[in-house]
């Protein structure tokens, strides 16, 4: 039996060996040619002799250092924010004053009272205006005194008239404005960057003067919203910065009060009335197992840890306060996963209180309505979770393609939930049962629907939607006249 197989095995083995030998000869001849050495048939044999010569080793080492250094510097520069000199030069051109006394836009959390009324189902949607901002937005616009503020991928922040959609002035950072903006005491705080950005800053613009006042530079990226918290008449700006952790700074001078680094932080913090600072951490890009993720509570004035517990997955979005609970949504976005969770803890003790598991990662900002949380998955699942009973009251699956980081918003007046899907337009859902009241997709004349990562901003009777392409549009629910018939 053995002798019968030998003729078949030998040619099979020799073919790849021959190819390898030819390949080595070609490589050896090429390398030798770089140093003026001509090889003949003995190329493979001379390869080691060539590589071990001092001048070859020194040249190869130097060449390797230059190439690797160039690659590193290119990556470093590509992921570095704009130079301050560039920003200052741009702002010198864009600077415009304003006589508006802007109201603060709450950053901590909006609470909703218990509402027992039924949802008002609109008959349609009217597009009030739509503008082209030149680049898409990752987070929703904020509104104050009849003005909207929205940042885009090109690092331009637009101030827009709410009624008309007219852009009245712009501010510049030059790097993607990834977090939601913060407006406090006529100051606009702007973060920047993606997961790969390093040494990102939070910029402070004076809205009255229209100028860049100062900035706070981190070693990481500032994707999470800068949060202004107040406790015992002390005001602090909390800045999250990826692998660089959390910084508590003076909102005016941006001088550091304290700093901690509990892990990678992209989620904004939440501050409660008792001076607890709640935070969540996530896994680094490319890390699917080795680093743990945590929920923690810190002291407002010192950053001292009050309690800390491990989370089942990454916390990419800010937690929410719901009664005595602090609740986190978790899920992975940098590697495949079928895990998503809502995990709630007692605010003071840190003891687990409620939770639920989903088969899709959760990576959007949840909303609190009554004693429930409205959350969305990255694949378009929208649910309302009741904390007391620890169960979903309802779920709606938009069934869209692609990943979305858009959360569901709540219109308190109409008692409806608004969900901007990735590819199927805007869904208007009954907050009581999750039924679809309306699915609005714009016509070609109104501008095609594009991928949307940001929540809907509910401002009065307007719904403001900023997509990831280049549009911001204002919508209004339409109600047909009702005719009363009598016998």
d(CA 185, CA 131): 28
Q: Across residues 135-151, what is the average pLDDT?
A: 97
Q: Across residues 265-284, what is the average pLDDT?
A: 95
DSSP symbol at 252 = T
The confidence score (pLDDT) of residue 277 equals: 97
Residues in the chain: 487
Task: Spell out the domain ranges in the chain.
Answer: 2-77
Tokens representing 465? 């939607």
Task: Please report which confidence band the pLDDT of residue 351 belongs to, taking 50, 70 and 90 as the band edges.
Answer: very high
Whole-model pTM: value is 0.87
Residue pLDDT, tens place only, 423-479: 999 999 999 999 999 999 999 899 999 999 999 999 999 999 999 999 999 999 999
Higher pLDDT, 451 or 40: 451
d(CA 331, CA 337): 8
The confidence score (pLDDT) of residue 287 equals: 77
Least Cα distance to 385 among 399, 368, 362 occurs for: 368
**Phi, psi dihedrals of residue 153, rounded to the nearest 5°:** -70, -20
Task: Please report which confidence band the pLDDT of residue 1 belongs to, taking 50, 70 and 90 as the band edges.
Answer: very low
Residue pLDDT, tens place only, 80-104: 999 999 999 999 999 999 999 999 9
Convert 156-176 to b/e letters by CB count within 10 Å (16 or more is b): bbbbbebeebebebbbbbebb
The confidence score (pLDDT) of residue 118 equals: 85
The region of weakest confidence among 38-52, 58-72, 363-377 is: 38-52
Residue pLDDT, tens place only, 245-258: 999 999 999 999 99
Q: Across residues 407-424, what is the average pLDDT?
A: 94
The region of weakest confidence among 204-213, 252-261, 268-277, 399-408 is: 399-408
Q: Are 294 and 314 in contact (CB under 8 A)?
A: no
Task: Please report which confidence band the pLDDT of residue 487 belongs to, taking 50, 70 and 90 as the band edges.
Answer: very low
Share of the chain above pLDDT 70, in %: 86
**What ranges in 351-472 are assigned the alpha helix state H?**
none
């Amino acid at each position: 039996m053995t002798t019968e197989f030998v003729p078949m095995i030998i040619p099979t083995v020799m073919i790849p060996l021959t190819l390898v030998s030819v390949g080595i000869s070609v490589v050896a001849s090429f390398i030798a040619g770089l140093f003026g050495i001509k090889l003949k048939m003995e190329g493979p044999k001379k390869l080691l002799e060539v590589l071990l010569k001092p001048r070859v080793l020194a040249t190869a080492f130097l060449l390797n250092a230059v190439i690797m250094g160039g690659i590193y510097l290119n990556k470093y520069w590509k992921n570095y924010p704009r130079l301050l000199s560039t920003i200052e030069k741009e702002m010198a051109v864009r600077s415009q004053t304003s006589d508006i006394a802007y109201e603060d836009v709450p950053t901590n959390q909006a609470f909703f009272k218990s509402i027992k009324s039924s949802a008002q189902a609109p008959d349609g949607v009217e597009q009030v205006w739509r503008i082209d901002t030149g680049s898409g937005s990752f987070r929703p616009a904020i509104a104050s005194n009849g003005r909207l503020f929205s940042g885009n991928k090109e690092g331009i922040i637009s101030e827009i008239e709410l009624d008309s959609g007219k852009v009245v002035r712009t501010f510049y950072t030059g790097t993607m404005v990834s977090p939601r903006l913060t407006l406090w005491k006529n100051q606009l705080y702007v973060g920047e960057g993606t997961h790969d950005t390093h040494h990102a800053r939070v910029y402070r613009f004076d809205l009255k003067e229209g100028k860049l006042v100062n900035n706070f530079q981190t070693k990481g990226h500032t994707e999470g919203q800068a949060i202004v918290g107040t406790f015992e008449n002390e005001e602090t700006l909390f800045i999250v910065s990826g692998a660089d952790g959390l910084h508590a700074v003076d909102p005016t001078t941006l001088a550091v009060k304290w700093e901690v680094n509990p892990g990678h932080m992209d989620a904004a913090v939440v501050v409660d009335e008792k001076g607890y600072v709640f935070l969540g951490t996530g896994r680094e890009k490319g890390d699917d197992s080795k680093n743990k993720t945590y929920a923690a509570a810190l002291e407002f004035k010192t950053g001292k840890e009050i309690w800390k517990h491990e989370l089942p997955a990454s916390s990419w979005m800010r937690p929410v306060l719901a009664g005595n609970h602090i609740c986190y949504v978790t899920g992975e976005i940098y590697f495949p996963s079928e895990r998503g969770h809502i995990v709630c803890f007692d605010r003071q003790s840190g003891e687990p209180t409620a939770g639920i598991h989903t088969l899709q990662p959760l990576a959007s900002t949840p909303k609190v309505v009554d004693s429930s949380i409205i959350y969305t998955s990255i694949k378009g699942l929208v649910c309302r979770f009741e904390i007391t009973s620890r169960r979903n009251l309802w779920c709606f699956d938009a069934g869209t393609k692609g990943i979305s980081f858009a959360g569901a918003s709540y219109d308190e007046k109409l008692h409806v939930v608004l969900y901007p899907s990735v590819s199927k337009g805007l869904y208007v859902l009954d907050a009581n049962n999750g039924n679809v009241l309306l699915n609005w997709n714009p016509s070609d004349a109104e501008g095609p629907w594009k991928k949307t990562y940001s929540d809907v901003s509910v401002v009065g009777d307007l719904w403001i939607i900023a997509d990831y392409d280049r549009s911001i549009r204002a919508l209004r629910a339409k109600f047909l006249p009702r005719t009363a018939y009598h016998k």
